[in-house]
Structures are given as C-alpha cells and as structure tokens.
C-alpha cells in the first residue's frame, strides 16, 4: 500500500465537482486517510508549489490556488501515486485522455481541477504539509 496527496482545486470547487471527484476516489478503490476543506493563504500556496518557483506560470498558479477554497485528501491504495495520476490525466486538459478527471472538468492547463503527488517521497512531504500525523486514520 502507498499514499498520495490530492487536491480538488478552486476551479473544480467553484464548478461544483467536489461530489463527482470524491465519488471517483471511492470508485477507484482509494481509502481516505484524511480529508479537509480549506482556503490556502497565498504564502502557503507558494510554499506548496515552491519547486515551480521562477516558472512563468508560478505567480498565477499560486494566486489561483489561494483565491477560493480547496479540498485536500490523503489517500491510500496500491500504487497510489501512479493510479491517481492515471485517473486525473495530463496536466493540460486538451491532452488528457477521455474519462480522466481533467478531461471531464478542467478549464485550462492552469485551472486543471485536481492535483496529485508525483512520487512516493513527495506524497509524504505533501501529506505532512496539510495533515498532522494524528489527523490521519491509522
Ligand atoms: P501536475 O499538476 O500535472 O503535476 P506540474 O507540472 O507539477 O503538473 O504543474 C503544477 C501545476 O501548475 C499544474 O497542475 C497546473 O495547474 C500549473 N501549470 C503547469 N504548467 C503550466 C503551464 O504551462 N501553464 C499554466 N499553468 C501550468
Ligand atoms: Mg506536479
């Protein structure tokens, strides 16, 4: 079993896809270890996405991510990181396969509805960004 950190981004919350995406999480066999609804401060969005600091989209991404609420969840499943990335599809919804969450719901490459960790190591770092150990189901 492994873990991943997912976010339902502001565009998907505004477009009322929280339920659709949580249903998909359940259908894909993930166990929810932790779940929160919150609004990021811009400084925290900048910290979360610091690997992208200096990229042309960084400032707008951090502004978009902190302008309205998000849902964050720590999920567990076999092969969790890759499975979730397969479920969400390519970063740019125009390149995402039909049936993936980004193909169905995303507005643009920037406002692309969902996040998923990109490695087991980053999943642990991202989970600890949002959740204290005692906030995760054992
Ligand atoms: P990922 O979310 O598919 O892992 P990353 O390359 O890690 O994609 O980029 C993080 C986020 O930054 C993306 O989900 C998207 O919101 C935004 N982003 C990445 N590349 C671009 C771009 O070329 N234009 C606008 N936004 C981008
Ligand atoms: Mg990424």
Q: Find the mean pLDDT for residues 33-59.
A: 98
* pLDDT tens, position by position, 62-93: 999 999 999 999 999 999 999 999 999 999 99
Q: Return the ligand 1 atom nearest residue 64 CA.
A: 16
SS3 state at 22? helix
83 in active site? no
Q: Return the ligand 1 atom nearest residue 49 CA.
A: 10
Supply angle C-alpha 79, 130, 67, rounded to 5. Answer: 110
Residues constituting the chain? 138
Residue nearest to atom 11 of ligand 1 (CA): 110
Please state, for a pLDDT cut of 70, what percent of the chain lies above it. Answer: 100
pTM attached to this predicted model:
0.98
pLDDT at 48: 98
Q: Find the mean pLDDT for residues 2-17.
A: 98
**What pLDDT band is residue 9 in, cutting at 50, 70 and 90?**
very high
Domains and CATH numbers, the chain: 2-36+71-133 (3.30.70.141)
Distance CA 52, CA 77 (A): 27
Q: Is the CB of 46 under 6 A from ligand 1?
A: no
Q: How far is residue 99 CA from its own chain's centroid?
A: 17
Distance CA 127, CA 58 (A): 21
């Amino acid at each position: 079993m492994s873990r991943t950190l997912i976010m339902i981004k502001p565009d998907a919350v505004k477009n009322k896809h929280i339920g659709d995406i949580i249903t998909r999480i359940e259908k894909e066999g993930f166990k929810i270890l932790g779940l929160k609804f919150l609004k990021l401060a811009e400084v925290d969005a900048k910290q979360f996405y610091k690997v992208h600091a200096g990229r042309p989209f960084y400032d707008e991404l951090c502004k978009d991510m902190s302008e309205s609420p998000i849902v964050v969840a720590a999920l567990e499943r076999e092969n969790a990181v890759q499975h979730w990335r397969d479920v969400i599809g390519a970063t740019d919804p125009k390149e995402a396969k039909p049936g993936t969450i980004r193909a169905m719901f995303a507005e643009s490459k920037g406002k692309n509805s969902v996040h998923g960790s990109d490695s087991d190591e980053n999943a642990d770092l991202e989970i600890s960004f949002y959740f204290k150990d005692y906030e995760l189901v054992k």
